[in-house]
Copies of this chain bind each other. A is one copy, B any other.
Amino acid sequence: MVVPERKDSTSARLTRDHWIQAALAAIAEGGLTAVAVEPLATRLGTTKGSFYWHFVNREALLQAALGQWEEQTTTVVIGEINNAPDDPPARLRMLVTRVIALAEQDAVGPALMANAKHPSVQPVLSRVTRARIGLTVDVLRSMGFDPHQAKLRAMLAYSAYLGHAQLAHSTPELTFQTKQQRREYLEHVLRTLGAPSAP
C-alpha cells in the first residue's frame, strides 16, 4: 500500500492555493474535465472534506485557477516587454523569443482553447487573447509599421504563436529538435515578421 505523498511534507494542512496549483496541473495534463474533486484530493493526499472547506464547489476552483492563469500569463510577458529598453527591433526579438518559450512551457493555454465555449473560460480567453494581440500590435507599431500593417502582421504572428504552442504539445516529434534548427527557425520568424513591407 503506497500512501500518496503530500506535496510538501512540512505542512500538514493545505491552503486554497495548493488546490489551485493542482487544478492548473490537471488542466495541463488532462484538460478541463481533469479538474475533478476526488482525483485531485487523492493527488494531494487528502479528501473531499478539505476541498469543500476551501471552495463552495468545483466551479469555484475552476474560476480561481483560471484567474490565476490569466494573471500570470498576461502580466509576465506584457510586463517584461514594457520594461524592456526602447530599442524596437530588440523588443520584437524579445517578444518572439519569450513567447516561443512560453508556448512550449504552458500547456494550460492550449487546453483552454479547446473549451473556449465554456462560460467560465470564454471571458478569460477573450481578455488574454486581446491583450496579447494588442501587445504585438504595439511592438510592431513601435518598429514603424502603420496601424493597418501592424494589425495584419500581429494577427499572423499571434496565429503562428498559437499554432506553435499546439504543435509543441500535440506532436512535438514533428517540431525542430536540435538547438541549431531551433535557432534558425527563430531567426526565420523574426526576419519574416520584421521584414519591410513589399511595395
Contacts and interface: CB of A to CB of B under 8 A. Distances in A.
Question: Could you say how many copies of this chain the assembly holds?
Answer: 2
B170 A160 contact: no
Interface residues of A, number: 41
A137 B110 CA distance: 25
Nearest to A172: B116
B173 A126 contact: yes
A84 interface: no
Interface string A171-199: 10111100000001100110110010010
A97 interface: no
A16 interface: no
A113 B126 CA distance: 20
Interface stretch (A51-59, A61-69, A74-82, A161-169): A161-169
A107 to B, nearest CB: 10
Contact of A162 (B31, B130, B162, B173): B162
Nearest to A169: B116
Contact of A166 (B130, B166, B188, B195): B166
A143 interface: no
Given A156-B188, A173-B126, A166 B198 contact: no
Nearest to A133: B174
A171 B110 contact: no
A111 interface: yes
Interface in A1-58: 31, 33
Contacts of A195: 192, 195, 198
Given A163-B162, A173-B126, A152 B114 contact: no
A105 interface: no
A171 B31 contact: no
7 contacts: A33-B33, A116-B170, A133-B174, A152-B185, A191-B198, A192-B192, A195-B195
